[in-house]
């Protein structure tokens, strides 16, 4: 017959983020036990006392303590850049997308320092560009339904090596650090291996410093990416 310990081990192996939170002391054992108790009881087939689940979690973490799943070395010389005065707007998916793009490409001259990005999703189309181009964007989408609009944002971009896209949790390493510092990401996009995070302008410097510090830290597992 399967044991409570075996069921807890299985549950935690499926939840690396929970394990990471326990390692970082962002969650306590009893809170995690309360969360996973219903699932453990269902598989066990009868009622289990919470202390038994907590004890099994503690045993799991004792054996797992040297295997820190998010402690790889970040690639060296990652390029991190910033830009302010960004306008972002989202509209409902529209068959007029080509007409919108044509208008934008005709009116927004992408000289040095200028940029225009359009992301077409399943339900929405997101446009972001320099704040000074807002008037052109609003004209282009004047007959569309706006679902979200954000002024005067700033972004931090991280240009990862392509190999990092296959590493589970690499974006989480960044977003977790920002969450710990209580920094909100207003919008986030990935273009190839480039990760773009948009913030309110007053949060830009702290966000940039937080990301830069994390990427510069020496990690113990130097062979993870090799």
Helical (H) or strand (E) element with 43: helix 29-44
Write down the domain spans for the chain: 4-64, 79-216
Residue scoring higher pLDDT (186 or 73): 186
Query: How sure is the predictor about 225, in pLDDT bands with cuts at 50, 70 and 90?
Result: very low
User: In terms of C-beta density within 10 A (0-12 exposed, 13-18 middle, 19 or more buried), how is residue 172 classed?
Assistant: middle
Evaluate if residue 119 carries a pLDDT over 50: yes
Confidence of residue 180 (pLDDT cuts 50, 70, 90): confident
- 71 pLDDT band (50/70/90 cuts)? low
pLDDT level of residue 68 (50, 70, 90 thresholds): low
Average pLDDT, the chain: 86
Q: Which of 70-74, 99-103, 166-170, 209-213 has the highest mean pLDDT?
A: 99-103
At 65, is the pLDDT very low, low, confident or very high (cuts 50, 70, 90)? low
How does residue 70 score in pLDDT terms, banded at 50, 70 and 90? low
Residue 10: pLDDT above 80? yes
Given a contact cutoff of 8 angstroms between Cβ atoms, the answer to whether 197 and 207 are in contact is: yes
| Mean pLDDT, range 93-115, rounded to an integer | 90
Residue 116 has pLDDT above 50, yes or no: yes
CATH of domain 79-216: 3.30.2130.10
Strand order in the sheet with 124-130: 116-120, 124-130, 79-92, 146-159, 194-200, 187-191
Q: 17 versus 154: which is more confidently predicted?
A: 154
Grouping H, G, I as helix, E, B as strand and the rest as coil, residue 101 is: helix
**pLDDT band at residue 26 using 50, 70 and 90 as cut-offs:** confident
Separation of alpha carbons 49 and 133, rounded Å: 60
Q: Are residues 118 and 129 in contact, defined by beta-carbon separation less than 8 angstroms?
A: no
Give the pTM. Answer: 0.65
Q: What is the average per-residue pLDDT within 80-105?
A: 94
């Amino acid at each position: 017959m399967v044991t409570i310990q075996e069921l807890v081990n299985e549950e935690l192996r499926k939840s690396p983020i929970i394990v990471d939170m326990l390692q970082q002391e962002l969650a306590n054992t009893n809170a995690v036990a309360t969360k996973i108790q219903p699932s453990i009881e269902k598989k066990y087939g009868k009622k289990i006392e919470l202390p038994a689940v907590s004890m099994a979690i503690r045993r799991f973490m004792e054996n797992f303590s040297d295997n820190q799943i998010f402690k790889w070395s970040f690639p060296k010389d990652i390029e991190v850049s910033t830009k302010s005065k960004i306008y972002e707007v989202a509209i409902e998916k529209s068959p007029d997308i080509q007409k919108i793009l044509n208008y934008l490409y005709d009116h927004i001259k992408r000289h040095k320092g200028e940029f225009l990005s359009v992301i077409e999703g399943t339900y929405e189309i997101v446009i972001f560009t320099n704040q000074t181009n807002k008037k052109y964007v609003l004209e282009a989408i004047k007959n569309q339904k706006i679902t979200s609009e954000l002024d005067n944002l700033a972004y931090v971009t991280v240009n990862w090596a392509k190999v990092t896209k296959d590493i589970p949790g690499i974006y989480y390493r960044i977003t977790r650090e920002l969450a710990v510092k209580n920094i909100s990401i207003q919008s986030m996009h990935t273009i190839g291996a480039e990760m773009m995070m948009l913030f309110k302008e007053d949060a830009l410097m702290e966000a940039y410093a937080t990301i830069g510090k994390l990427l510069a830290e020496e990690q113990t597992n130097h062979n993870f990416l090799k």
